[in-house]
């Protein structure tokens, strides 16, 4: 397993649960798992995304029941905020799609929304409440998954973690930067954007995002809040956009997003973008203006051209599996990704149809 972020950790955990011995190799600095918001959220921009995210949340619920409090899980649900009548119609359409997939959700009018989240600005049209969404502290969840490796399946050495940098992958072997090699019948590449350096022609693009976190204001916000306009801005393929997204963390802090930028691989904070993002957030949540922001940072989502991840065998290299390109949804979809990868490697059936996520769809030319 190359990569110890949430996707690599989930794949390693699932494989160890199925009795496989897994060596996880990671070079340390942390990618999208460490930079991101850690939301567990059903997304429904297309049927394949809805299938993957809802299957993932079902697995998360089983895993979260075993996880400890360091993983920072909060069953806060999401409120998709409608600013006007047009967005209220979008909320109703979203409700129809989610309910058809068996996801419980409730349409809230302006009054009900104001009662649930009195800190939101006056005059919003309403919201769609998705009660089973949540948030998790993904770096600790990944650590927990790796630490559990194999315990419940009785294999005491199910997962071992090697801090090292991979320089090449070839014919079932991984070459490390110190010149040593490791071999395995199956190699999974779960290194996010850094996979591009290990595998040519990887269809991945970086989408930069800024985040900010406040000091502790417990009870000020109780649900994850996302503007419905988020979907519009999140799926542009060029330009810079910001959208309102705030999460109440179990510590009482508010995690504030979001921004999207293309063709920018500099992780420095850009004050102009950060300011736009915070203005957008305080437009929805005016009390943010009186709060302390204690940290700001930027990170990168690994995006594919069609917005769906690459999960499954590499089309031209046998024994190499890809678990990449989850963009902003990698924490949510790590669990179903793990089931698809483990089912593929163990040649067993998976209740989720993984054909929409096969890497071959974007990597045809050899």
Instruction: Tell me which stretch binds other proteins (CB under 8 A): 11-19, 153-161, 164-172, 287-295.
Output: 287-295
The answer to whether residue 269 forms part of the interface with other proteins (CB under 8 A) is no
Q: Compute the C-alpha angle 175/178/182, nearest 5°.
A: 35
The answer to whether residue 251 forms part of the interface with other proteins (CB under 8 A) is yes
Contact 57, 49 (CB under 8 A): no
Q: How far apart are CA 193 and CA 203, in angstroms?
A: 10
Q: Give how many residues touch other proteins by CB under 8 A.
A: 10
Instruction: Tell me which stretch binds other proteins (CB under 8 A): 53-61, 143-151, 245-253, 303-311.
Output: 245-253
Candidates 294, 318, 348, 353; binder of other proteins (CB under 8 A) is 294
* Per-residue interface string for the shown chain with other proteins, residues 203-242, x marking contact by CB under 8 A: ------------xx--------------------------
Candidates 178, 290, 349, 351; binder of other proteins (CB under 8 A) is 290
The answer to whether residue 181 forms part of the interface with other proteins (CB under 8 A) is no
Looking at the Cβ atoms of 172 and 252, the one nearer to other proteins is: 252
Closest CA to 159 of 9, 358, 262, 49: 9
* Residues sharing a CB contact under 8 Å with residue 89, sequence separation 6 or more, in sequence order: none
**DSSP symbols for 196-248:** GGTSTT---EEEEEEEEEEEE-TTS--SEEEETHHHHHHT-SSS-EEEEEEEE
Q: How far apart are CA 247 and CA 89, in angstroms?
A: 24
The answer to whether residue 286 forms part of the interface with other proteins (CB under 8 A) is no
CB of 294 to other proteins, least distance (A): 4
CB of 135 to other proteins, least distance (A): 15
Q: Compute the C-alpha angle 316/363/300, nearest 5°.
A: 115
Instruction: Tell me which stretch binds other proteins (CB under 8 A): 9-17, 47-55, 273-281, 284-292.
Output: 284-292
The answer to whether residue 292 forms part of the interface with other proteins (CB under 8 A) is yes
CB of 287 to other proteins, least distance (A): 12
Q: Would you state the structure tokens that stand for residue 143, as one six-digit string?
A: 């650590």
Q: How far apart are CA 197 and CA 204, in angstroms?
A: 11
Name the 3-class secondary structure at 187: strand
The answer to whether residue 287 forms part of the interface with other proteins (CB under 8 A) is no
CB of 213 to other proteins, least distance (A): 10
Instruction: Tell me which stretch binds other proteins (CB under 8 A): 75-83, 98-106, 194-202, 250-258.
Output: 250-258
Q: How far apart are CA 222 and CA 255, in angstroms?
A: 12
CB of 224 to other proteins, least distance (A): 19
Q: Could you say which DSSP state residue 327 is in?
A: G
CB of 20 to other proteins, least distance (A): 35
Instruction: Tell me which stretch binds other proteins (CB under 8 A): 10-18, 55-63, 105-113, 291-299.
Output: 291-299
The answer to whether residue 291 forms part of the interface with other proteins (CB under 8 A) is yes
Candidates 157, 295, 318, 348; binder of other proteins (CB under 8 A) is 295
Q: What are the strands, taking DSSP E only, across the chain?
A: 22-26, 39-40, 78-82, 106-109, 126-130, 134-135, 159-163, 166-170, 173-176, 181-183, 187-189, 205-216, 224-227, 241-248, 253-262, 293-303, 310-313, 320-324
The strands making up 181-183's β-sheet, listed across from edge to edge, are 166-170, 173-176, 181-183
Looking at the Cβ atoms of 212 and 226, the one nearer to other proteins is: 212
Q: How far apart are CA 220 and CA 251, in angstroms?
A: 12
Angle between helices 330-345 and 6-17 (to 10 degrees): 40
Instruction: Tell me which stretch binds other proteins (CB under 8 A): 6-14, 20-28, 290-298, 325-333.
Output: 290-298
Q: Where along the sequence are the contacts to other proteins (CB under 8 A)? A: 215-216, 251-253, 290-292, 294-295
């Amino acid at each position: 397993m190359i990569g110890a972020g949430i996707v690599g950790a989930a794949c390693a955990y699932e494989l160890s649960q199925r009795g496989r011995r897994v060596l996880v190799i990671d070079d340390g600095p942390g990618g999208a798992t460490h930079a991101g918001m850690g939301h567990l959220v059903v997304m429904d921009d297309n049927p394949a995304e809805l299938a993957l995210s809802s299957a993932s949340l079902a697995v998360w619920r089983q895993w979260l029941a075993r996880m400890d409090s360091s993983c920072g899980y909060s069953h806060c649900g999401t409120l998709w905020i409608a600013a006007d009548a047009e967005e209220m119609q979008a909320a109703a359409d979203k409700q129809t799609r989610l309910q058809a997939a068996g996801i419980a959700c409730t349409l809230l009018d302006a009054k009900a929304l104001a009662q649930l989240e009195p800190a939101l600005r006056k005059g919003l049209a309403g919201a769609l409440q998705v009660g089973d969404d949540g948030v998790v502290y993904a770096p600790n969840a990944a650590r927990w998954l790796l630490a559990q490796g194999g315990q419940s399946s009785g294999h005491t050495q199910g997962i071992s973690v090697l801090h090292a940098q991979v320089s090449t992958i070839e014919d079932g072997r991984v070459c490390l930067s110190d010149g040593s090699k490791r071999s395995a019948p199956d190699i999974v590449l779960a290194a996010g954007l850094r996979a591009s350096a290990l595998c040519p022609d990887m269809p991945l693009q970086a989408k930069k995002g800024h985040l900010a976190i406040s000091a502790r204001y417990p009870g000020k916000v109780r649900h994850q809040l996302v503007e419905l306009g988020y979907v519009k801005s999140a799926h542009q393929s060029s330009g810079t956009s910001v959208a309102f997204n705030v999460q109440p963390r179990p510590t009482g802090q508010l995690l504030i997003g979001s921004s999207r930028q293309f063709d920018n691989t500099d992780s420095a904070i850009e004050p102009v973008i950060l300011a736009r993002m915070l203005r957008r957030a305080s437009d929805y949540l005016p009390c943010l203006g009186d709060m302390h922001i204690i940290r700001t940072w930027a990170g990168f989502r690994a995006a594919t051209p069609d917005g769906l991840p690459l999960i499954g065998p590499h089309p031209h290299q046998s024994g190499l599996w890809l678990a990449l390109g989850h963009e902003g949804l990698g924490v949510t979809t790590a669990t179903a990704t793990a089931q698809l990868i483990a089912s593929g490697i163990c040649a067993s059936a998976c209740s989720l149809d993984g054909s929409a996520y096969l890497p071959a769809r974007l990597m045809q030319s050899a």
